Chains A and B, each alone.
With several copies, the nearest count.
Chain A
């Protein structure tokens, strides 16, 4: 065993013993988020942007738009493209290079929360059916990884969209206009550590979690996306309890993001 593994083993024991008595390593309640800080409009070269911090985790999202062609099977819809970069400055375990499976999962999970909730009405981004549409690039940069990057990325993506102005004049397509955001999906991530389930896992909790479940809830309390991760499993009751907790937590977080 390396010293790192021993520390991890000790930490795991400690976190588990705390959990048995209903406590978390940083003193939070099981259903309590760390402080969430949202800042919009941080990048002036972007069509829309935001910076979100959840505890020590920091994400920046920039929206860029360009003209392009629609996909053949959706000729009357704009194109939404989501990417995620796990910057090597964000964690000693992130490596420079093309997006790996972790970055791809983050991009796709964030994309689904936005896309499947209908946050953006892609039909409004169609300019000329079958020929010309707006392409919206939603690029997520994780800059500091201190646990729970799924939620930070999703809040930041939503905030950046809320901040986006379609740069029509730059492309000789008339006046610029605000991008309309139709739905406000909020993702909430839960980690299962032995027999306890915590929301917004910190880095230590993320590192030792057995299972992870991310649930996205819209403003009508409907489920819009879910993603289970890691090798652990959830019982049916655990899944239901998680969804109920998510439905309780979503409104307050949504308010913070919308009003930032």
Chain B
């Protein structure tokens, strides 16, 4: 959370936010599965101005061998921001922020993957943020779930994720960059609809217990909507593949 600047109003008198959204309104989200040729599974997400590509490889043999886990697959995630994805150019390669995000996204995804079916292997998830505008970790996690499903990796469910925050004293859904910079709190949430479990949860800022409770509920409701978009994206992909197969056969 940044420093609140005097005079910046993030919610207007009609209760609308700087991009015109209502407090509990998501930005437009487009998800597409199976967008890469080489990756075993992939997904592309446009979430507001965020543009993120995810490629998945695996299960594949893990090298070097002494890192193999004889009881399960190792879930390895790399979240990376392209140098041009932000206004001030980012040096290519991992920084401390992206290393932490990679860790928590990887841990969350491990929750839903049946890792014990693939001992000694790795399942590698590569998240490439091409353009960033707040909420990339949630958008990346959302897309990564779709990419894993696209790769045919057995999972107990998808993870849907969204960030909730506090802006001008109000709890609002899915922060945009200005809200993230000048708001009072940010709570990224990753949720598994089928089990009702929260598998990613961070928070920074300043929230009362009641505010946090409200944020959590708002986030989970939104995750349920995002979950439907994820399933839609996968369905479209399979319809497309099926159509292609039918066309080939004909």
Interface residues of A (CB under 8 A from B): 1, 5, 42-46, 49, 56, 58, 60, 62-64, 66, 74, 77, 83, 85, 87-92, 96, 98-99, 101, 104-105, 107-108, 112, 115-117, 137, 139, 141, 143-146, 170, 213, 221-236, 239-240, 243-244, 247
Q: B15-52 interface mask toward A, CB cutoff 8 Å, 1 = contact, 0 = none? A: 00000000000000000000011110010000001010
Residues of B within 8 A of A85 (CB): 82, 92
State whether B103 touches A227 (Cβ < 8 A).
no
Known: A224-B205, A224-B206, A228-B202. A236 touches B216 (CB 8 A): yes
Instruction: Beyond A64-B84, A77-B3, A117-B206, list 11 extra A-B contacts (CB 8 Å).
Output: A49-B84, A56-B37, A89-B39, A90-B39, A90-B55, A139-B82, A139-B83, A141-B128, A146-B37, A224-B206, A235-B198
Residues of A within 8 A of B93 (CB): 98
Residues of B within 8 A of A60 (CB): 82, 130
State whether A64 touches B37 (Cβ < 8 A).
no
One of B36, B207, B220 near A223 (C-beta < 8 A): B207
State whether A231 touches B111 (Cβ < 8 A).
yes
State whether B84 touches A45 (Cβ < 8 A).
yes
B108 close to A (CB within 8 Å): yes
State whether B84 touches A101 (Cβ < 8 A).
no
19 sample A-B contacts, Cβ–Cβ < 8 Å, listed by A number: A45-B87, A56-B37, A83-B83, A89-B53, A104-B103, A107-B96, A115-B204, A137-B84, A141-B82, A141-B128, A144-B37, A170-B87, A223-B208, A228-B199, A232-B111, A236-B217, A236-B220, A240-B213, A243-B212
One of A46, A225, A229, A243 near B209 (C-beta < 8 A): A243
Residues of B within 8 A of A231 (CB): 75, 107-108, 110-111, 199
User: Closest residue to A226 on the B side, CB-wise?
Assistant: B203
State whether B212 touches A223 (Cβ < 8 A).
yes
Residues of A within 8 A of B57 (CB): 88-89, 92
* Complex: A247 Cα to B208 Cα, angstroms: 11
Residues of B within 8 A of A64 (CB): 83-84, 89
User: Closest residue to A72 on the B side, CB-wise?
Assistant: B88
* Distance from A61 Cβ to chain B, minimum over Cβ atoms (Å): 8
* Distance from A231 Cβ to chain B, minimum over Cβ atoms (Å): 4
Q: How large is the interface on B (under 10, 10 to 19, 20 to 34, 35 or more residues)?
A: 35 or more
B102 close to A (CB within 8 Å): yes
B120 close to A (CB within 8 Å): no
One of A74, A90, A101, A226 near B103 (C-beta < 8 A): A101
B201 close to A (CB within 8 Å): yes
Main secondary structure of the interface of A (DSSP, over half): mixed
One of B78, B85, B108, B197 near A96 (C-beta < 8 A): B78
One of B78, B198, B206 near A88 (C-beta < 8 A): B78
Main secondary structure of the interface of B (DSSP, over half): mixed
State whether A222 touches B206 (Cβ < 8 A).
yes
Interface residues of B (CB under 8 A from A): 1, 3, 36-39, 42, 49, 51, 53-55, 57, 60, 70-71, 75, 78, 80, 82-87, 89, 92-93, 96-97, 99-100, 102-104, 107-108, 110-111, 124, 126, 128, 130-133, 187, 192, 195-209, 212-213, 216-217, 220
* Complex: A108 Cα to B99 Cα, angstroms: 10
User: Closest residue to B35 on the A side, CB-wise?
Assistant: A144
Residues of A within 8 A of B87 (CB): 45, 170
User: Closest residue to B39 on the A side, CB-wise?
Assistant: A89
* Distance from B75 Cβ to chain A, minimum over Cβ atoms (Å): 8
Known: A85-B92, A89-B39, A96-B126. A45 touches B207 (CB 8 A): no
State whether B198 touches A233 (Cβ < 8 A).
yes
A-B pairs, top 6 by smallest CB distance, nearest first, are: A62-B84, A89-B55, A233-B197, A226-B203, A56-B37, A231-B110
* Distance from B6 Cβ to chain A, minimum over Cβ atoms (Å): 13
Known: A105-B103, A222-B207, A226-B202. A233 touches B85 (CB 8 A): no
* Complex: A80 Cα to B98 Cα, angstroms: 19
State whether B196 touches A227 (Cβ < 8 A).
no
State whether B85 touches A235 (Cβ < 8 A).
no
Residues of A within 8 A of B84 (CB): 43, 45-46, 49, 62-64, 137, 139
* Complex: A231 Cα to B99 Cα, angstroms: 16
User: Closest residue to A145 on the B side, CB-wise?
Assistant: B38
Residues of B within 8 A of A63 (CB): 84
